[in-house]
Amino acid sequence: MKLHELQEEILRLKKETNTVILAHSYQAREIVEIADFTGDSYKLSVDAKGVKADNILFCGVHFMAETAKMLAPQKRVFLANKNAGCPMAEQMDAELISAVKEQDPERTVVAYINTTAKLKTVCDVCVTSSSAVKIVRAIDNDKILFIPDCNLGDYVKRSIPDKDIKLMNGGCPTHAKITAKEVKTAKAEHPNALFLVHPECQPSVVALADYVGSTSGIMDYAMKSDKKEFIIGTETSIAEHLQYECPEKKFYPVTKDIVCHNMKITTLPDVYNSLVGITDGSAFEIIMDSELISKARRCIDEMIRLGG
Ligand code: 13P
Ligand code: SF4
């Protein structure tokens, strides 16, 4: 089947199965094209909450589908490729963070949304990359434990110097690969370009940025800017989507190997097979018991309350 025929079939099956597709901005172009909602993790959380259809098919990584399930527990939520996990979300578990909390119980525990539902049950509030600074600022406590991403945590700490923010040693292996040296080389090659960066990058990389933001933040900034050239410091799909949206501008990934293989594991045939599988029972469904949902959801609701 040709690509556009497969896309047509997917659109037909979406209607037939009463399914909406949520796709993170790191998904490939052909998946973004057949999605009902696209964006960063904050936007997709809010979108999931408002879904009217019976089923949600998530194209992204496991913690994102889990978050959608928690926000729309009455819906059936499926992950398009069951092997798509976020390595950062697996770096810390509830036992470790409970032990750290016992040592330092006065701190409000802020969890990046890139964490498992089980870990969220022992945290106080979630943040996403687009909402972290706003939410940590709004928390009525100056003592914070920020997990797991020390790079995003460092960015929050620098943005709110009056709070005492303790970090732990976790982070995104994809963004950590970008070095300040590579950014300087890209800037020398494209002296008129602005450098737009995701806060999961190392502090030495973030320090070179003209703009720091989430995947949606970077896309909005570049689309609205009257500048014509941009170096993109995040997963390479963002430069590709932007090039497609704004053919008159130029987008350069810092280097071509900033690829999140977990985000890219999902293919259009996976989406098609999942939609077929919703009917025949073979699709990968996110199953969570109601106790886990209610305990883990508290910190997501708190995120939406403080960030909305
Ligand atoms: P966003 O908040 O930009 O969606 O980031 C999610 C993510 O996993 C980035 O690596
Ligand atoms: Fe996880 Fe990094 Fe991939 Fe985002 S880019 S899903 S944080 S591994």
What domains lie within the chain, and their CATH numbers? 3-84+263-287 (3.40.50.10800), 88-171+297-307 (3.40.50.10800), 175-259 (3.40.50.10800)
**Paired tokens of 6:** 């497969």
Residue to mutate, 134, 214, 232, 235, ligand 1, most ligand atoms under 8 Å from C-beta: 214
**Paired tokens of 253:** 């990934």
Q: Give the pLDDT of the chain (308 residues) as one tens digit per residue.
A: 899 999 999 999 999 999 999 999 999 999 999 999 999 998 998 899 999 999 999 999 999 999 999 999 999 999 999 999 999 999 999 999 999 999 999 999 999 999 999 999 999 999 999 999 999 999 999 999 999 999 999 999 999 999 999 999 999 999 999 999 999 999 999 999 999 999 999 999 999 999 999 999 999 999 999 999 999 999 999 999 999 999 999 999 999 999 999 999 999 999 999 999 999 999 999 999 999 999 999 999 999 888 75
CA of 273 to the centre of ligand 2 (A): 24
Q: What is the pTM for the complete model shown?
A: 0.95
Asked whether 200 lines ligand 1 (CB < 6 A), one says: yes
**Paired tokens of 231:** 């170096």
